[in-house]
């Protein structure tokens, strides 16, 4: 295996000597005369090891080591110095150096130290590769389905994953928008960088700006220390803004500026910070309707809607219910120490005839319950929850029977949603936070649906 080593020293002759010595072992050597030059090389080349001088003009060895540990935490660094002292050596090791060598050094000693560092680097790369393969396998397993509507989603993921385009995922709650966002990140060109998810509806409005952009100590009451916002946390990676439609208008303008200018301004800090973030947004609202109602900025909508991916509801991909259910039964059963071989024909038929208003999330909860109560290796019809068979229950598939198609699909779906929410309120004794949790949505989304559907609750319990 060919390795790339970067030698950093302000003495050109020493760089040439090391290049010659290491080159005899089949190592390709890159050189840099100072720390800043070294960082530029690291951004352009796949370097396996850095050998850096301790004292250099401008950015010295300790400063370069700190930058490397910050930007390339798994890259080993060997520090060399003519001012070899126990203090310098101990300090460099504490700061993350793999090892150190003293000038003048013995070539054989150098070869041994370099060989150990490169072996360490190879082990880290193998571990990264195995983790990546495992992640990819798990991610592919989670994107299950062969229906035409879901194949279109998979094709869209494959088309956009290597780009930096902003993506807008739309679809009902529970259709797997975050799962798709993670798949795009894992299979894209930012896979080794952070993936940061933010639920815009779950954060109190007064804290959203600080959560997104960070704040300086003392910027407001309770700001007892500096805070790094989600945009900076996701720098060089992906920021997933879930339920973007619930974001307050005042913050939407600042999000728009961050997307357009690639800069942010932490609360209480007038200095701008550059960020390189790929944004994936998701919503279960019709944002065009929100724009028409002055609830969402039109310019932000078009900035987000560069590459839209609509996710189908589970009732629109009925042929995917059986493989999804088997997948959940296998994984959930393994967690509980049970092994399931599948579902009975009657159980599969019952699941296929249900409309799944909660989509994939509801299916997963249904299968989880079934794995708990099932006594055999096959999940039977009686192991499924009773609401799948109640013709008048919320979300029942009985809304559409053979020869009966609703004249107004949106109205029919609204009735399903309303019945579902009323049932959740009844089960939670009117506690809205508990009702929202029961159906797997945020409190803010729950309150939005109450308003949209005209459901009046005399007392709001938080």
DSSP, collapsed to helix, strand or coil, labels residue 51 as strand
Other Cβ atoms less than 10 A from the Cβ of 455: the count is 14
DSSP secondary structure code for residue 286 in this structure: -
| Model pLDDT for residues 344-383, shown as the tens digit of each residue | 999 999 999 888 988 998 999 899 999 998 988 999 999 9
CB 162 within 8 A of CB 190: no
Say yes or no to pLDDT of 133 above 60.
no
What six digits make up the tokens of 47? 């370097």
Asked if the model's pLDDT at residue 135 lies above 70, the reply is: no
Angle at 374 between CA 371 and CA 379, to 5 degrees: 80
Residue 278 confidence (pLDDT)? 95
**Residue 278 in contact with residue 190, Cβ under 8 Å?**
yes
pLDDT of residue 402: 45
Rounded CA-CA distance 416/396 in Å is 8
Give the C-alpha separation, 449 to 446, whole Å.
5
Q: 316-354 pLDDT, tens per residue?
A: 999 999 999 999 998 888 877 888 888 999 999 999 988
CATH architecture for residues 409-453 = Orthogonal Bundle (1.10)
Given a cut of 50, whether residue 137 has pLDDT beyond it is no
How much is the mean pLDDT over the chain?
84
Q: Per residue in 231-285, pLDDT tens? A: 999 999 999 999 999 999 989 999 999 999 999 888 887 788 899 999 999 999 9
Contact 245, 297 (CB under 8 A): no
Question: Hey, do 147-312 and 315-399 end up sharing a CATH topology, with the first three levels equal?
Answer: no
What is the distance between the alpha carbons of residues 119 and 361, in angstroms, rounded to a whole number? Answer: 45
Pairing mode of beta strands 227-228, 214-215: antiparallel
Average pLDDT over residues 425-439: 76
From 35-49, 164-178, 275-289, 395-409, the region with the lowest mean pLDDT: 395-409
Count other Cβ atoms within 10 Å, centred on residue 179.
14
- Residue 56 tokens read as 């250099």
Q: In the chain, what are the domain boundaries?
A: 4-126, 147-312, 315-399, 409-453
**Which pLDDT score is estimated for 395?**
42
Kindly report the pTM of this predicted structure: 0.57
Report the pLDDT value the prediction gives residue 461, as an integer from 0 to 100.
Answer: 37
At 396 the pLDDT is 41
Residues 6+ away with beta carbon under 8 Å from 389: 350
Give the length of the chain. Answer: 462
CATH number assigned to the domain with residue range 4-126, chosen from the 4 options 3.40.50.720, 3.40.190.10, 1.10.3720.10, 3.40.50.2300: 3.40.50.2300
Q: SS3 string of 97-151? A: CCEEEECCCCHHHHHHHHHHHHHHHHHHHHHHHHHHHHHHHHHHHHCCCCCHHHH
Terminal-residue alpha carbon distance, the chain? 61
pLDDT at 392 over 90: no
Tokens of 196: 């940061």
**Cβ 244 vs Cβ 202: under 8 Å:** no
| Three-point CA angle 316, 321, 327, nearest 5° | 140
Record the tokens describing residue 24, joined without a space: 């005899």
CATH topology of domain 315-399: Helicase, Ruva Protein; domain 3 (1.10.8)
Q: What is residue 272's predicted lDDT score, i.e. its pLDDT?
A: 85
Fold observed for domain 147-312: Rossmann fold (3.40.50)
């Amino acid at each position: 295996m060919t390795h790339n080593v970067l030698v950093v020293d302000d003495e050109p002759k020493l760089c040439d000597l090391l290049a010659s010595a290491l080159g005899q072992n089949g190592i390709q050597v890159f050189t840099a005369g100072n720390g800043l030059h070294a960082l530029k090389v690291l951004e352009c080349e796949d370097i396996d090891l850095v050998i850096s001088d301790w004292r250099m003009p401008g950015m010295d060895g300790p400063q370069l080591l700190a930058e490397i540990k910050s930007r390339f935490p798994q890259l080993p660094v060997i520090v060399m110095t003519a001012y070899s002292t126990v203090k310098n050596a101990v300090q460099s090791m504490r700061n993350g150096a793999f090892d150190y060598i003293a000038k003048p050094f013995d070539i054989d000693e150098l070869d041994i130290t370099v060989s150990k560092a490169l072996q360490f680097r190879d082990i880290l790369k193998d571990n990264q590769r195995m983790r990546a393969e495992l992640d990819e396998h798990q991610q592919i397993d989670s994107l299950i389905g062969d229906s035409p509507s879901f194949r279109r989603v998979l094709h869209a993921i494959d088309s956009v994953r290597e780009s930096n385009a902003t993506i807008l995922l739309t679809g009902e709650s529970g259709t797997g928008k975050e799962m798709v966002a993670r798949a795009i990140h894992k299979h894209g060109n930012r896979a080794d960088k952070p993936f940061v998810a933010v639920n815009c509806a779950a954060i109190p409005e007064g804290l959203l700006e600080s959560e997104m952009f960070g704040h300086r100590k003392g910027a407001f009451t309770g700001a007892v220390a500096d805070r790094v916002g989600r945009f900076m946390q996701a720098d060089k990676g992906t920021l997933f803004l879930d339920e973007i439609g619930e974001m307050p208008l005042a913050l939407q303008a600042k999000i728009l500026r961050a997307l357009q200018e690639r800069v942010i301004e932490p609360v209480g800090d007038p200095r701008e910070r550059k960020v390189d973030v790929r944004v994936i947004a998701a919503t279960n609202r019709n944002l065009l309707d929100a724009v028409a109602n002055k609830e969402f900025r039109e310019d932000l909508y078009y900035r987000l809607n560069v590459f839209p991916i609509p996710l189908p509801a589970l009732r629109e991909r009925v042929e995917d219910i059986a493989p999804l259910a088997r997948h959940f039964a296998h994984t959930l059963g393994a967690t509980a120490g049970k092994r399931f071989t599948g579902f009975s024909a009657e159980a599969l038929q019952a699941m296929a005839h249900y409309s799944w208003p909660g989509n994939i999330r509801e299916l997963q909860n249904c299968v989880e319950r079934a794995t708990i109560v099932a006594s055999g290796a096959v999940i039977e019809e009686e192991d499924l929850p009773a609401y799948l068979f109640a013709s008048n229950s919320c979300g029942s598939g009985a809304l559409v029977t053979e020869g009966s198609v609703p004249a107004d699909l949106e109205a029919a779906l609204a009735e399903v949603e309303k019945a579902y929410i009323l049932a959740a309120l009844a089960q939670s004794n009117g506690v809205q936070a508990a009702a929202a949790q029961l159906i797997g949505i945020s409190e803010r989304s729950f309150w939005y649906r109450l308003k949209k559907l005209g459901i009046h609750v005399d007392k709001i319990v938080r």
